[in-house]
Chain A
């Protein structure tokens, strides 16, 4: 292999798995968490809407 390329690849690519791994973990962690809590928020909002509708339906004949 070309010694110049070998030297360049050795200095550059040796660190690449660690850098890419770090960025991958970071983005996965941040946006995975954001996605998870947004989904959970939508879930409880739906639940609240259903329950509030039930409460208002139950209260309707008396009003």
Chain B
């Protein structure tokens, strides 16, 4: 059975892909709307939702507009970690079973990871520039995430440097598993190194209030649905490309 012929709840995979892609667009738009219209603004590490006096006039909220990047930057970063799990999982499955499909799944998962990693870096750099006044700081979270970025790019460099299909898949699987080890390290580094400039957002006692959490989780759900959709589209594309190759070979015979 090819990828596109799978069915769930009476609907084909194609239908599900477009449903989830549409849902991802709706959820991310809802997160965006909440971010700009409902979540209070933040000053440093504290939510400010009180009257302040600026120039002798009481003003509701001292706005730190740049913090609004958080509601998409963090879900994109978290998604990059979560999608990268599939690179490692499929790498392990390939090394055990030696079936091409797992290599294909690992490669596509890494491709989606690369997209999220690049977007995390781009949004993070803009945030860093405004908040800290510099484009880049060698602090633990940024450094470990930078290493992760290089490893994800390195995964494709490695693949392109090996011609033999079997060897390429084996090396890529091993590299993908090793590269993934950096993901939990990068995720937990703000807890392991408390001096990190990145605050621990989810902590005992709470770091976010409910409206912030809703916006965050809407964005998170949207990003994960988006990741699943594009992963499935790429898988389907690869499946058809393979069938085209087989059909072309049949024509040439």
> Which A residues have a C-beta under 8 Å from some C-beta of B?
3-4, 7-8, 11-16, 18-19, 21-23, 25-26, 29-31, 33-34, 37-38, 40-41, 44-45, 47-48, 51-52, 54-55, 58
Contacts and interface: CB of A to CB of B under 8 A. Distances in A.
Interface string B36-69: 0000000000000000001111010011111011
A4 B233 contact: no
Binding site of A, secondary structure by majority: helix, strand, loop or mixed? helix
Nearest to B122: A25
B33 interface: no
29 contacts: A4-B56, A11-B63, A11-B65, A14-B65, A14-B130, A15-B66, A15-B68, A18-B127, A19-B126, A22-B73, A23-B72, A25-B119, A25-B126, A26-B76, A26-B119, A26-B123, A29-B115, A29-B118, A33-B115, A34-B21, A34-B229, A34-B230, A38-B233, A41-B240, A48-B240, A51-B247, A51-B248, A51-B251, A55-B247
Given A8-B54, A34-B229, A45-B240, 11 more contacts: A11-B64, A15-B68, A18-B129, A19-B69, A25-B126, A37-B234, A41-B236, A41-B240, A47-B244, A48-B247, A51-B248
A31 B230 CA distance: 10
Shortest 8 CB-CB distances between A and B: which pairs?
A15-B65, A15-B66, A4-B55, A22-B123, A51-B247, A18-B130, A3-B55, A41-B237
Interface centre among A7, A41, A45, A54 (most CB of B within 10 A): A41
Contacts of B248: 51
Contact of B233 (A7, A30, A37): A37
Contacts of A13: 65
Interface of B: 21, 25, 28, 32, 54-57, 59, 62-66, 68-69, 72-73, 76, 115, 118-119, 122-123, 126-127, 129-130, 226, 229-230, 233-234, 236-237, 240-241, 243-244, 247-248, 250-251
Contact of B57 (A4, A11, A34, A54): A4
Contact of B230 (A33, A48, A58): A33
A55 B53 CA distance: 78
A21 B69 CA distance: 10
A13 B68 CA distance: 13
Given A26-B76, A48-B244, A18 B69 contact: yes
A16 B130 CA distance: 10
A13 B65 CA distance: 8
Contacts of B229: 34
Nearest to A31: B25
A4 B52 CA distance: 12
A26 to B, nearest CB: 5
A29 B59 contact: no
